Amino acid sequence: MKKLFTLSFALLIASITLGQVKNEPNEKTMTENLNEVAAFLKDCRVFFIATSEGNQPRVRPFGVAEIVNGKLYLTTGRKKDVYKQLEGNDGRFEICALKADYSQWIRISGRLVDEDNAEIRQTILDRNKSLGHMYSANDGNFVTPYIADGEARFFSFQGEEKRVKF
């Protein structure tokens, strides 16, 4: 009887643990995670996005990350190499950003999905006036891909890594 109880208890613990691993964040948690990631990027002001071109990594600075309708959007030009590299790699990318005091950094991965939506482009332009000299909402060049399947990893020298999905 004691063996049966021990085995049952072990199976119960295993099923609870596996259930926790399989559970996806709920909508509220996903929204909180999205807000946390966007706030971190805004605090950093500049973040670096990595793509690949064949077997060569490519990294460049970005500065705009905006939440619109529950999605985190970046901006670029359709004619830029970064856009072509994203297209050639199913939108896969990684972002890295470091806070100004060097205390924390973030790595974000996922896929950038190009959503052809002039309203979203205009909203982002309205929030980021500095983009107005380069783009307009309907110029055929300005694109605002959003992050799909996003995962952020927060790091610091004082603490453990924190992972969130958004």
Domain limits, the chain: 25-165
CA-angle at 86, arms to 112 and 40, nearest 5°: 45
CA–CA distance, 50 with 96 (Å, rounded to integer): 8
C-alpha span between 121 and 115 (Å, rounded): 10
Predicted TM-score (pTM) of the model is 0.83
The CA-atom distances, in angstroms, between 73 and each of 10, 34, 101, 162 are: 45, 11, 26, 22
Query: Which tokens in the block code for residue 6?
Result: 């021990």
State what percent of residues in the chain have pLDDT above 70: 86
Q: Please answer whether residues 137 and 125 qualify as being in contact, where contact means their C-beta atoms are separated by less than 8 angstroms.
A: yes
> What is the C-alpha to C-alpha distance for residues 35 and 37, in angstroms, rounded to an integer?
5
Assigned token pair, 71: 């999605």
Confidence of residue 17 (pLDDT cuts 50, 70, 90): very low
Q: How far apart are CA 93 and CA 110, in angstroms?
A: 6
Confidence of residue 25 (pLDDT cuts 50, 70, 90): confident
Q: How far apart are CA 60 and CA 49, in angstroms?
A: 6
User: Within 13 Å and on the Cβ side, how many CA atoms surround 151?
Assistant: 8
131-159 mean pLDDT: 97
Question: Cα dihedral angle (34, 72, 149, 151), rounded to 10 degrees?
Answer: -50
- pLDDT tens per residue across span 32-59: 999 999 999 999 999 999 999 999 999 9
The CATH code for residues 25-165 is 2.30.110.10
Q: Which residue has the tokens 């924190």?
A: 162
Tokens at residue 92, please?
Answer: 């896969």
The helix (run of H) or strand (run of E) holding residue 142 is: strand 142-143
